[in-house]
Amino acid sequence: MSPHYGIVMVSSDTSASDSGSPFKKWFMRQYWRVQQSQTIISMAFWVTTLTLLIWPYVRWRFENDSTIGGISTTYLGLIAIGTTVIVLVLVVGVVYDVTFGLWREHMTIIGERNPFQTYQISPNFAIILLQTNLILRKLADDDEEIKRHCDFVDRWFRWNVDTEIFARAMAGWENIMNDDDPYLPNLSDEERAKLAQTVKDLSQH
């Protein structure tokens, strides 16, 4: 396949899985595991904290050293408070999810505030979009409406090329695949040189 279509091939001796330091990958895997457990652990801490905060106000009801089924009422009181806290949290979650459905608006706001879902193109998708735009332009070279659309995509692409995240993606592709591609045929020599300089500057930091 011609490099003018922006196709990137990974060399046979390099892959995404074997790049980088093994220790870094091991460390980040453990860090990810810790992050996954944070919600459960924080919930346990929250229930414990609220239980101990509420306990001084109700402990007088359980100070007669009585037992139920051989279990001290003190422990039963603590368990009851903790269970009540968990149930209240679940009730709030059900109301949030089922009754009001606030997660829909929450996800809508996240999308509205995410530039990559509104006006900015992620570098990976930009390469695919550029390839599609080149093919479309060649297939419908005599269609003015399609050419106008392709011109818009090219302008949009050029604007995204000037962002730092695109330059960082280019630097990452060069470092991982040891390749000068992807070739960006819709850029002028000046724009391509500017991007290359930005990539070089980022690689030195």
- Can you give the pLDDT of all 205 residues of the chain as single tens digits? 434 433 333 444 444 444 457 888 889 889 999 988 888 898 889 889 998 898 888 887 776 777 777 778 888 888 888 999 999 999 999 999 998 888 899 999 999 998 888 888 888 888 888 889 989 988 988 888 998 999 999 889 888 888 888 888 888 887 787 766 677 887 878 888 888 888 888 777 6
- Amino acid identity, position 35: Q
Please give the Cα distance from 118 to 112 (Å, whole number): 7
In the numeric block, which tokens belong to residue 115? Answer: 């530039």
Distances (CA, A) of 177 to 8, 22, 145: 9, 18, 38
Task: Tell me the angle at which helices 123-139 and 144-161 cross, rounded to the nearest 10 degrees.
Answer: 160
∠ CA 176-124-108, rounded to 5°: 135
The distance of Cα 147 from the centroid of its chain, to the nearest Å, equals: 34
Tally of helices (H runs) and strands (E runs) in the chain: 7, 2
115, 119, 123, 127: CA torsion to nearest 10? 160
Burial of 149 (0-12, 13-18, 19+ CB in 10 A): middle
What pLDDT is recorded for position 205? Answer: 64
One-letter amino acid at 155 equals R
pLDDT of residue 181: 65
Domain limits, the chain? 22-113, 119-203
Helices (H), the chain: 22-58, 73-94, 102-113, 123-139, 144-161, 164-177, 189-203
Where residue 70 falls (left for φ over 0; alpha for ψ -120 to 50; beta otherwise) is: left
Q: What is the pLDDT of residue 92?
A: 92
- Integer Rg of the chain from CA: 29
Report residue 63: phi and psi, to 5°.
-100, 20
